[in-house]
Structure 1
Amino acid sequence: MRHNKKFNHLGRTADHRAAMLANMAISLIQHKRITTTLAKAKALKKYVEPLITKAKEDTTNSRRVVFRYLQNKEAVTELFKEISVKVGDRPGGYTRVIKLGTRQGDAAPIAFIELVDYDENMAKTPKAEVKKTRRSRRSTKKAEETVVETATEATEETKAE
């Protein structure tokens, strides 16, 4: 029985799981977005978010703690120099998991995990307000006819002036 065993073991031994999550965390830090299965993405989120929180405080001890998990100098340097500066004011939630569907071969659910502040497409930009007319589902033909009628009336008024 698996009573009180909270995290996903991903069908691997502890050493294999730790090595896999470390490699995925390094790839995420270097590439800012990776595609993987949904279960691995959720496990990676729990693995990498405390490391990013630790990287906000740039001390020798915090660098040593993060290096113990990642074992990659370039990734640790990028995490402390670039990523921690960008997420400095964010209180948490540094990553985002977006589901992509299923894999062709084995129908495994696929998702990509990305660092939130590095996605320009998801950045909040002010949208231009579009004025929509209210229509009910049944009156689509009537609404189209009224739009055509108002358009012809507007052209007639401009011709009259």
Structure 2
Amino acid sequence: MRHLNAHRKLGRTSAHRKSLLRNLATSLVLNEKLVTTLQKAKELRPFVERAVTLGKRGDLHARRLAAGYFHAGNQKWNSNPKRLQTGTQRTAGVAALSKLFDVLSARFSDRKGGYTRILKLGTRRGDGAELAIIEFVGPEDN
């Protein structure tokens, strides 16, 4: 029986699994479309949808909570770790958080849930894993 076993382990330790989901969430928010295995996509969907719901709230507390759904985004360091390089771009985590609160929250402001869709692609040739596309629904689907 599967009582109280809520999530898939994906063959990883809990820290590795959390890191994997954060990386996938960052890529999904930045690119708005992602090809991965079906099991990872099914596990990623509620993870990202909670982050989008926080993005719709829009306050500072929600922004700090949503930052936990992405890897910490610091600016890149130069050889001297005491000083930041000037003019460097933000890392993916900060860029994803900004896009979540600026672009995606405005797009889904009228939608109560169901921000993503999963489309099955078939099996991968090398190992037979089921592939899927996870993407944000467009404005035409509202």
Normalising by the smaller structure, the TM-score range is 0.7 to 0.9
- Structure with more helix by fraction: 1
Structure with greater Cα Rg:
1
Checking the alignment, whether the CA contact within 8 Å between 2:25 and 2:69 is kept in structure 1 is no
Structure 1: stretches of 5+ with no match in the other structure: 125-161
Question: Is 2:98 aligned against 1:74?
Answer: no
- 2-side partners of 1:69 and 1:114: how far apart? 17
Q: Give the structure 2 partner of residue 20 of structure 1.
A: 20
- Matching residue of 2:109: 88
Say whether 1:99 aligns with 2:120: yes
Structure 2 residue 61 is the aligned partner of structure 1 residue 40: no
Larger RCO (alpha carbons 8 Å, 6+ apart): 2
Find the residue that maps to 1:6 and give its secondary structure: coil
Is 1:62 aligned to 2:83, yes or no?
Answer: no
RMSD across aligned C-alpha pairs, in angstroms?
1.3
Compute the displacement of 1:104 (Å): 0.3
- Provide the rounded CA distance (Å) in 2 between the counterparts of 1:10 and 1:78: 28
3-state SS in 1 of match to 2:41: helix
Q: Percent identity?
A: 43
Give 1:68 shift.
1.9
Q: TM-score, normalised by structure 1?
A: 0.71
Q: Which runs of 4+ in 1 moved over 4 A?
A: none
Letter in 2 for 1:62: A
CA contact (8 A) 1:95 1:116 kept: yes
SS in structure 2 of the partner of residue 56 of structure 1: helix
**Amino acid corresponding to residue 108 of structure 1 in structure 2:** A
Tell me if structure 1 keeps the 8 A contact 2:36–2:131.
Answer: yes
Paired position in structure 2 for 1:116: 137
Aligned equivalent of 2:9 = 9
How far the C-alpha of 1:3 sits from its partner, in A, is: 3.6
What is the distance in 2 between the residues matched to 1:9 and 1:89?
A: 34
Partner SS, residue 101 of structure 1: strand
Aligned mates of 2:107, 2:5 — CA distance in 1: 34
Query: 3-state SS of the aligned residue for 1:79?
Result: helix
Using the alignment, how far apart are the partners of 2:3 and 2:118 within structure 1?
A: 27
